[in-house]
Structure 1
């Protein structure tokens, strides 16, 4: 298992898949957290009159709790932020796990339609991120940590993550009547620009290196 993970961590496309999975999960949590932190309803309508065993009534109960509702938002925002930073993504994935596991069970317990598929995929993606970080997480079971493989253009991806956090948090802070396609489109554009920048830096680095020392490396 250890050899498989170590070999996988050296494959540049898997490195990039991990980077963007962190962006996707982190961005989704930050997007969903700000409305709770502001003390507003997750949905526009009150669910007080809905049947007690319904998703809308559950949301209304959580909203009416006040401090607990804001605490949930703060925990989501922190987990999402840590994932977006890349540098502290391992800690973010650990914090993300109990939150998304709880959300997944809630969506199974109430009539959320196809939502359990989405939350289940998020839980699976988080589990894969934890498996990716197993060389670091080994210390939790009394095993020595292994030296991590350098990621692809780490400073660049940290910067992209901070831009995504600033945009998402700012957008959700200033508006409740959001346009999801607008938010997702801007985030996709930022991510694409980051990928282009990584490709350019790789090409420039390869062009400036002596021919004898040119080897495939992280993007």
Structure 2
């Protein structure tokens, strides 16, 4: 197969899937949104762990980073910052409540990767990442009713400010934030101990599952289970 056709397909196929899903709605749209969030979240989560572990944990995309090159140019801290950002974005995308925030943060991350790989003349990678950017754009279009007030200020902003914020309840809310903090904090422990890193992240993941189950039993939106917005009903 011609490589140029393959590279083109990595952009065209996501674009077609986005157009069809958003046009048809229903189960096609739900499948598109859920699959895109899962794929993009896994890519970011894996990429973040890969960088934070000093290339010891396998990543899902991209060539290995060169530690010697990073040390030569004093870029180790920058690489860890990118890794932490990717880890956070991945976690946000894999939740329901914060998935929109993850999609918004993912746009500059993809643009950064596209122009970095383009300037380094990496074959294929800019095309593939552009396809991921198309999927991210589709997620933003899916949630446009929640984003539209950024572009079109409401006529009665006081009415929006008066809407109550929907939370999961004090106990579940606190546990959910603690779980997310434990996962992110644990990911930073690799230089200290890989075992401590995996243990802390496992504990955070268990807390995340616990707070999700707790929220479902109480019939309320959990911090990592159900998409919500201030005063808005979840979209079907």
The alignment's TM-score, normalised by the length of structure 1, stands at 0.53
> Cα distance, 1:13 vs. partner?
1.5
Aligned length: 140
Residue 95 to residue 18, structure 1, CA distance change in 2 (3 Å): same
Residue 106 to residue 74, structure 1, CA distance change in 2 (3 Å): same
Deviation digits for residues 152-201 of structure 1 (CA, Å, limit 9, x no counterpart)? xxxxxxxxxx9xxx8xx99xx769xxxxxxxxxxxxxxxxxxxxxxxxxx
The alignment status of 1:21 with 2:24, answered yes or no, reads no
> Which 5+ residue runs of structure 2 have no aligned equivalent?
1-18, 161-178, 196-235
The alignment status of 1:112 with 2:106, answered yes or no, reads no
Deviation digits for residues 28-78 of structure 1 (CA, Å, limit 9, x no counterpart)? 011111121234488557485xxxxxxxx6xx4698412211110011111
Which residue of structure 1 aligns with residue 99 of structure 2? 89
Distance in structure 1 (CA, Å) of the matches to 2:27 and 2:72? 42
Which residue of structure 1 aligns with residue 132 of structure 2? 122
> Which 5+ residue runs of structure 1 have no aligned equivalent?
49-56, 147-161, 176-217
Distance in structure 1 (CA, Å) of the matches to 2:136 and 2:31? 15
Distance in structure 2 (CA, Å) of the matches to 1:24 and 1:40? 21
Residue 79 to residue 44, structure 1, CA distance change in 2 (3 Å): closer
Which residue of structure 2 aligns with residue 132 of structure 1? 142
The alignment status of 1:31 with 2:50, answered yes or no, reads no
CA RMSD of aligned residues (A): 3.7
Give 1:1-219 correspondences, 5 Å limit: 8=23, 10-40=25-55, 46=66, 60=70, 64-144=74-154
Distance in structure 1 (CA, Å) of the matches to 2:141 and 2:102? 14
Distance in structure 1 (CA, Å) of the matches to 2:105 and 2:64? 28
Residue 85 to residue 105, structure 1, CA distance change in 2 (3 Å): same
> Cα distance, 1:133 vs. partner?
0.9
Residue 61 to residue 115, structure 1, CA distance change in 2 (3 Å): farther
